[in-house]
Amino acid sequence: MVQKIYYRIGEVAKKFNVQPSLIRYWEKEFDFIKPKKSDKGTRLFTQKDVDHFEIVYHLIKEKGMTIQGTRNYFKKHYDNRSLEKLQVINTLKRTKSLLKDIREVLTGHAG
């Protein structure tokens, strides 16, 4: 996903291969997924929102946790500092990927 300031719900849905309705549902279930809304009501997700959605996606879809189990997990294991640390880690991963892409362009091959 290209680094942007805001992502529309369709872009986020495509990244995670889910329906937009799931994103709207989880937005209601988890208060830390808080996209801004345009004057027309379009949801605008920041990278932080996408990172938070990714954590929920991982716990529910990949680890098989329930929504209540995920809520409990967040209460027990995450606070704002933990979420900020995860955001830094995701930023570093994106930076690493970008640098690899630049290297490929400069060297003319993958590797």
Q: Cα torsion for 10, 15, 17, 21, to the nearest 10°?
A: -30
Greatest Cα pair distance, the chain, in angstroms, is 49
pLDDT in tens, the chain (111 residues): 556 789 999 999 999 999 999 999 999 999 888 899 989 989 999 988 898 898 899 889 988 999 999 888 888 776 666 666 666 776 777 788 788 888 888 888 655
Residue ranges of domains in the chain, CATH in brackets: 7-78 (1.10.1660.10)
pTM of the model: 0.68
Q: Residue 37 forms beta bridges with which residues?
A: 43
